[in-house]
Amino acid sequence: MSKECFTYLLEKLKPDLTKKITRFQKPISPIERLAVCLRFLATGDSFKTISFSFRLGHSTVAEIVHSTCRSIVKRLKKDVMPQPTEEMWRKTAEDFEKLRGFPNCIGALDGKHFVIEAPANSGSIYFNYKHTFSIVLLALVDACYKFIAVDIGAYGRNSDGGILAQCNLGKRLENGTLRVPMGKNLPGSSTFAPYVIVGDEAFPLKTYLMRPYPGHQTTDDANKTNFNHRLSLARRLVENAFGILTQRFRIFQRRIKLAPKNVDYIILSTCVLHNYLCEQKDNTGLVNHSAQNAQPHLLNSLNVQPGRPANDAFAVRETFKEYLASTAGRNLIRQ
């Protein structure tokens, strides 16, 4: 993070980080509070290690981290992760078409398990299919690796289709309250298609959510193979975004030993900071030069979601499959 970025964050968060002077002790300065929090997020060092470095008490470091993460969400989220508008969705679709050759796409969806210490008296609700305890981050990402919307806090044991169906993001996609436009003709054709998001096999096929064709269906069908390839090019953006997140914030490169309610805010605050840093001209080159190869090796993917989609969803996928195999569709990838 550049000095300018740190200074901006300090000014933005200062109302929350400035504490009253008492006759018993001098408060910790806002600049030190922000430095402590960013050190924890960027390195993943334990509270004990950071307390030695800053000569602060262990409990003081914990309080600083948790309160500063909440302040980051409170003061910054509305600016860097605003509620989507129709104009924003259309701009995102233009970016996906231009950068990834997938038309009418308004986001790439994926979820990851963040490994945590087994919470006390939690039983098996956080225990996932990888035999670890985890909290799930479900994220919708634009064509520039930024998080459009996130949903955090699902239990690790939940089925993956259930996570999408039960979370606020999934419910808003299902009931159409995310202000997504109706759709438009695919470029260079008279074929109408809705705006869609792209995901992998972990998610159910919906009219608004495209997933790949099963592997056994692509053996003798070049058009289905082509569709899967084109969808993968677009969907890879969310994988890269998770990779960038874990590179920037090494707290996620080890088991997080905190209460789930605090882990939720830590994950959300890093997503907010990630978006803020993506918007900066000087972002240390991480997005521009390393995003293509960034993979979240230390996060567990969601499990494959079975189920029978509705006929309307099959029809939408067929529309995209046929278009992407057409001359107009092939030309998008050559631009």
Q: Percent of the chain, pLDDT > 90? A: 66
pLDDT per residue over 195-205, tens digit each?
999 999 989 99
The predicted structure's pLDDT at residue 127: 61
The gap from C-alpha 71 to its chain's centroid, in whole angstroms, comes to 20
Residue 66 and residue 321: Cα distance in Å, rounded? Answer: 47
Q: How confident is the model at residue 165 (pLDDT cuts 50, 70, 90)?
A: confident
pLDDT per residue over 27-80, tens digit each?
899 999 999 999 999 999 999 999 999 999 999 999 999 999 999 999 999 999
Following DSSP, what letter does each residue of 219-255 receive, concatenated?
TT-HHHHHHHHHHHHHHHHHHHHHHHHHHH-GGGGS-
pTM: 0.89
Q: Which listed CATH number (2.40.160, 1.10.3470, 1.10.10, 3.30.70) goes with 3-79? A: 1.10.10
The predicted structure's pLDDT at residue 309: 61
By the 8 A CB rule, do 272 and 220 touch?
no
pLDDT per residue over 237-286, tens digit each?
999 999 999 999 999 988 899 988 899 999 999 999 999 999 986 555 45
Ramachandran area for residue 322 (φ above 0: left; ψ -120 to 50: alpha; else beta)? alpha
The predicted structure's pLDDT at residue 304: 46
Instruction: Give the Å distances, CA to CA, from 289 to 5, 201, 285, 305.
Output: 20, 28, 6, 33
Biggest CA pair distance of the chain: 79
Following DSSP, what letter does each residue of 87-120 receive, concatenated?
HHHHHHHHHHHHHHS-TTEEEEEEEEEEEBPPPT
Find the mean pLDDT for residues 115-138.
74
Q: Where are the domains of the chain?
A: 3-79, 94-334
Q: How confident is the model at residue 289 (pLDDT cuts 50, 70, 90)?
A: very low
Residue 308 and residue 125: Cα distance in Å, rounded? Answer: 26
The top-scoring range by mean pLDDT among 8-12, 164-168, 287-291 is 8-12
Helices 3-17 and 260-278 meet at what angle, rounded to 10?
140
Q: How confident is the model at residue 139 (pLDDT cuts 50, 70, 90)?
A: very high
The predicted structure's pLDDT at residue 301: 54
pLDDT per residue over 1-36, tens digit each?
899 999 999 999 999 999 887 767 788 999 999 999
Residue 183: CB atoms within 10 A of its CB come to 16
Following DSSP, what letter does each residue of 183-228 receive, concatenated?
-EEPTTSS-EE--EEE--TTS--BTTEE-PPPGGGSTT-HHHHHHH
Mean pLDDT score of the chain: 87
